[in-house]
């Protein structure tokens, strides 16, 4: 290997050394070489070639796989020489290969290969170790100091795995086994190493094989410390993250300010105008503005995985059809909306609002990419993703008219099987390769400051990947953009749709235990439930709810028939409260509600019978429908 200080090492060696490439061209020679070989500027110095030396060409070929010793002569004087070629940096192109040639007069004899090699590397500035049978035979002083040992002898005889961080051991074992089986050198890879005191250092670690005079293989490991470099890179990444957060804050401020402007303006109209028509208009616009704000929050929560969406079996074509009119209005009159929907199309499993969110995000991006107008095409079809051995060398997706051809599942990072493919294609300005490579990054946006959060495509990516699918982008400057999503096919049947705001019939007199730490929300939900004939027991936290249940039992009064609880609360979470209440009422139906579930609500908390989830903010219709379904014991959709 050629390192920054290698030339200095060669120059200071007590042997006659030359660094050459695979064509025997001389790259560098040390002072002892000049003294022994060159008395004038000739072919043996830098820039010349040693190709005419006897046995040099054959030895170069052998040196690709092992250290080579051979006899030769100095063509100019006929001086017999003992030569040794040590491979430093192999390469398929000989012009880029690097070898170290050492020569001695024949009468000087040749020391054993291992001793020669150890002499060569003892003062090398990089950490070097030699092992056989996975135990160290030798380490140089640099390696001992790097790993925190007082003397190199402390490591001799120790297993090489002993210096590897525990979480890296499996990978290192696999790499070493590959080198031992094939004899091929291991390229440098960043590896975490364990010092004697237990601290971790980061090294770029490579290895290659040598043979001693008896032909026995040993393995040389070379490590370069990059701990400080990684620390500097982490500081740089931290700065980039802070910059990304700044872009996010600007985008959110822009979007929320628009929402607040609508709310404040129509709130003033409500306060000033006695006209019922103005009141109805203002209330409707305030409601729509709040829904837009809720949609933006859901994007943030989906990205942060704090959004616990209810999953159900969906027909993609039906969802596209239901949203087409809205997408048309979103795109505007200059952009034509086309659909090419394959029939029949299998169902997928997704959050009830996720598909709509994806289509809206992509439509908005496409609209911004077509300021002068164009066409947005939404296309559906199917694809069979197979194992790499069955897919051959095909990595890139097939053209749309060949989408049913087998595709490489591993290349897309998903499991083999049937997939529904959803494509959204525009005729806009397109993106350059660098932008395409970063398009799915959170907070990355090409829009001007304050004009976008950079969450659109990252939200799409997060939704599809959480469903077990994959995303890819095809784009080029001036040629538009196609976003392609692969959704795993689901064998279930779609549930009967119910409009989110459709009123639900609730039995009057049902007893509900409402637990909500936000007073305003608790008062509002209590008012809604009482207005529909329900009996409500209010509690501000889990402790108060347990007290209510205990007091009802003591008095012999009827216990609550349903628990409606927030998820994130002081002291005890909603799931913890539900477990405590069900210890006394095992069949108690539970509806969790939350705007941000975070780590307080796990999938297993929703896995049992009689457990539901309601995402905040919710409408009156959504609240009543969820409670009705929970009380009736109906199965969840999908």
In angstroms, what CA-CA distances link 136 with 108, 158, 288, 351? 30, 6, 70, 55
What confidence tier does 602 reach under pLDDT thresholds 50, 70, 90?
A: low
From start to end of 329-433, where are the E strands? 335-341, 348-351, 374-386, 407-408, 417-426
Per-residue pLDDT at 252 = 62
Question: What CATH number was assigned to the domain covering residues 511-632?
Answer: 3.40.50.2300
Cβ 123 vs Cβ 99: under 8 Å: no
Per-residue pLDDT at 444 = 60
Cα 533 to Cα 507: distance, rounded to the nearest angstrom = 8
Q: What percent of the chain shows pLDDT beyond 90?
A: 17
Alpha-carbon torsion (517, 521, 527, 532), positive or negative: negative
DSSP 141-200: HHHHHHTT-SSGGGTTTSBGGGGB-GGGHHHHHHHHHHHHHH-PPEEEEEEEEE-TTS-E
Topology, domain 311-488? Heat Shock Protein 90 (3.30.565)
Per-residue pLDDT at 341 = 93
Residues of the chain with CATH 3.30.565.10: 311-488
Q: Tell me the CATH architecture of domain 6-110.
A: 2-Layer Sandwich (3.30)
89 membership: H or E segment, kind and range: strand 79-89
Per-residue pLDDT at 133 = 78
By C-alpha distance, which of 220, 156, 160, 165 is closest to 190?
165
3-state secondary structure at position 74 = strand
Q: Tell me the CATH architecture of domain 127-225.
A: 2-Layer Sandwich (3.30)
pLDDT digits over 71-123, tens only? 888 777 777 778 888 888 778 888 888 888 988 776 544 345 555 556 667 66
Q: How many CA atoms lie within 13 A of 96 on its CB side?
A: 4
> Which residues lie below 8 Å from residue 158, measured CB to CB, with a gap of 6+?
135, 136
Cα 248 to Cα 449: distance, rounded to the nearest angstrom = 9
Residues of the chain with CATH 1.10.287: 231-304
By C-alpha distance, which of 58, 62, 89, 68 is closest to 208?
89
The pairing of beta strand 511-515 with beta strand 127-132: unpaired
What confidence tier does 543 reach under pLDDT thresholds 50, 70, 90?
A: very high
- Range with the lowest mean pLDDT among 288-292, 293-297, 610-614? 293-297
What confidence tier does 595 reach under pLDDT thresholds 50, 70, 90?
A: confident
Supply φ then ψ for residue 427, to 5 degrees: -110, 35
Q: Which residues pair with 614 in a beta bridge?
A: 593
pLDDT digits over 364-384, tens only? 888 888 988 999 999 999 988
For residue 501, pLDDT beyond 50: no
- Range with the lowest mean pLDDT among 14-18, 35-39, 261-265, 460-464? 35-39
Per-residue pLDDT at 2 = 43
What confidence tier does 153 reach under pLDDT thresholds 50, 70, 90?
A: confident
By C-alpha distance, which of 396, 367, 302, 329 is closest to 597?
302
Per-residue pLDDT at 631 = 87
Q: What would the two tokens of residue 8 be?
A: 């200095």
47-56, 145-154, 325-334, 532-541: which has the highest mean pLDDT? 532-541
Looking at residue 605, the DSSP 8-state letter turns out to be: G
Q: 268 or 55: which carries more pLDDT confidence? A: 55
Residues of the chain with CATH 3.30.450.20: 6-110, 127-225
By C-alpha distance, which of 212, 169, 206, 164 is closest to 186?
206
Cα 434 to Cα 457: distance, rounded to the nearest angstrom = 15
Overall average pLDDT of the 433-459 stretch: 63
Residue given tokens 């089986």 in the structure block:
181
- Range with the lowest mean pLDDT among 37-46, 180-189, 339-348? 37-46
Question: What CATH number was assigned to the domain covering residues 231-304?
Answer: 1.10.287
pLDDT digits over 168-181, tens only? 898 888 888 888 88
Overall average pLDDT of the 52-57 stretch: 86
Looking at residue 633, the DSSP 8-state letter turns out to be: T
| Beta carbons within 10 angstroms of residue 310's beta carbon | 16
pLDDT digits over 557-568, tens only? 999 999 999 988
Angle between helices 276-304 and 354-369 (to 10 degrees): 100
184-193, 242-251, 294-303: which has the highest mean pLDDT? 184-193
Per-residue pLDDT at 108 = 47
Cα 422 to Cα 323: distance, rounded to the nearest angstrom = 15
3-state secondary structure at position 12 = helix
Residue given tokens 């410390």 in the structure block:
225
For residue 187, pLDDT beyond 90: no
Per-residue pLDDT at 380 = 94
- Range with the lowest mean pLDDT among 268-277, 429-438, 500-509, 596-605? 596-605
**pTM of the complete model:** 0.42
By C-alpha distance, which of 521, 600, 598, 603 is closest to 564?
521
By C-alpha distance, which of 191, 176, 84 is closest to 136?
176
Supply φ then ψ for residue 425, to 5 degrees: -125, 130
> Which residues lie below 8 Å from residue 635, measured CB to CB, with a gap of 6+?
none
Cβ 277 vs Cβ 458: under 8 Å: no
Cα 158 to Cα 135: distance, rounded to the nearest angstrom = 5
- Range with the lowest mean pLDDT among 232-236, 295-299, 403-407, 449-453? 449-453
Cβ 104 vs Cβ 82: under 8 Å: yes
What confidence tier does 188 reach under pLDDT thresholds 50, 70, 90?
A: confident
By C-alpha distance, which of 68, 107, 114, 329 is closest to 219?
114
3-state secondary structure at position 587 = coil
**Cα end-to-end distance, the chain, whole Å:** 59
Cβ 471 vs Cβ 591: under 8 Å: no
pLDDT digits over 20-43, tens only? 998 889 988 888 888 777 655 466
Supply φ then ψ for residue 605, to 5 degrees: -70, -25
Looking at residue 25, the DSSP 8-state letter turns out to be: B
> Which residues lie below 8 Å from residue 139, measured CB to CB, with a gap of 6+?
127, 128, 129, 130, 152, 155, 156
Per-residue pLDDT at 605 = 64
| Mean pLDDT for the chain overall | 78
Per-residue pLDDT at 614 = 84
């Amino acid at each position: 290997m050629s390192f920054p200080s290698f030339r200095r090492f060669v120059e200071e060696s007590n042997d006659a050394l030359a660094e050459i490439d695979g064509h025997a061209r001389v790259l560098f020679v040390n002072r002892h070489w000049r003294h022994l070989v060159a008395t004038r500027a000739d072919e043996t110095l830098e820039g010349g070639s040693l190709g005419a030396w006897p046995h040099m060409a054959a030895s170069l070929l052998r040196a690709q796989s092992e250290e080579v010793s051979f006899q030769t002569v100095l063509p100019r004087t006929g001086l017999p020489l003992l030569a040794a070629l040590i491979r430093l940096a192999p390469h398929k192109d000989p012009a880029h290969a690097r070898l170290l040639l050492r020569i001695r007069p024949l009468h000087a004899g040749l020391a054993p290969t291992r001793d020669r090699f150890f002499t060569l590397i003892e003062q090398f500035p990089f950490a070097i170790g030699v092992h056989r049978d996975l135990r160290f035979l030798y380490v140089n002083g640099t390696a001992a100091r790097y790993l925190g040992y007082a003397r190199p002898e402390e490591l001799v005889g120790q297993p090489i795995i002993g210096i590897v961080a525990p979480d890296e051991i499996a990978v290192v074992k696999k790499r070493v086994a590959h080198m031992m089986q094939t004899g091929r050198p291991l390229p440098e890879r960043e590896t975490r190493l364990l010092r004697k005191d237990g601290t971790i250092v980061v090294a770029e670690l490579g290895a290659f094989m040598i043979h001693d005079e008896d032909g026995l293989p040993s393995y040389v490991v070379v490590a370069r410390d990059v701990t400080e470099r990684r620390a500097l890179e982490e500081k740089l990444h931290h700065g980039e993250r802070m910059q990304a957060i700044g872009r996010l804050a600007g985008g959110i401020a822009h979007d929320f300010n628009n929402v607040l402007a609508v709310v404040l303006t129509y709130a003033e109209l409500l306060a000033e105008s006695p006209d019922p028509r103005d009141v109805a208009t203002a209330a409707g616009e305030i409601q729509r503005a709040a829904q837009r704000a809720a949609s933006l929050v859901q994007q943030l929560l989906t990205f942060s995985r704090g959004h616990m969406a209810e999953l159900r079996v969906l027909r993609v074509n039906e969802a596209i059809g239901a949203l087409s009119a809205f997408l048309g209005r979103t795109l505007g009159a200059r952009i034509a909306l086309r659909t090419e929907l394959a029939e029949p199309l299998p169902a997928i499993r997704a959050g009830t609002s996720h598909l709509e969110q994806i289509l809206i995000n992509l439509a908005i991006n496409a609209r911004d990419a077509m300021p002068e107008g164009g066409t947005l095409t939404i296309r559906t079809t199917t694809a069979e993703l197979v194992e790499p051995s069955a897919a051959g060398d095909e990595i890139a997706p097939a053209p749309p008219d060949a989408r049913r051809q087998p595709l490489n599942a591993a290349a897309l990072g998903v499991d083999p099987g049937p997939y529904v493919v959803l494509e959204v294609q525009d005729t806009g300005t397109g993106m350059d390769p660098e932008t395409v490579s970063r398009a799915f990054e959170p907070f990355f946006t090409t829009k001007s400051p304050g004009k976008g959060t950079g969450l659109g495509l990252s939200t799409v990516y997060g939704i599809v990947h959480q469903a077990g699918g994959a995303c890819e982008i095809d784009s080029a400057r001036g040629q538009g953009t196609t976003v392609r999503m692969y959704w795993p096919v689901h064998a279930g049947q779609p549930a009967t749709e119910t409009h989110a705001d459709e009123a639900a019939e609730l039995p009057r007199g049902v007893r509900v235990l409402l637990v909500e730490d936000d007073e305003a929300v608790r008062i509002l939900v209590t008012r809604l439930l009482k207005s529909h004939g329900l009996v409500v027991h209010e509690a501000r936290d889990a402790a108060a709810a347990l007290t209510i249940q205990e007091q009802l039992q003591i008095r012999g009064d009827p216990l609550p028939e349903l628990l409606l609880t927030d998820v994130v609360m002081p002291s005890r979470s909603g799931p913890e409260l539900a477990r405590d209440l069900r210890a006394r009422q095992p069949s108690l139906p539970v509806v969790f509600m939350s705007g941000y579930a975070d780590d307080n609500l796990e999938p297993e908390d929703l896995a049992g019978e009689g457990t539901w989830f309601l995402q905040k903010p919710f409408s009156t219709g959504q609240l009543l429908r969820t409670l009705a379904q929970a009380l009736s014991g109906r199965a969840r959709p999908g």
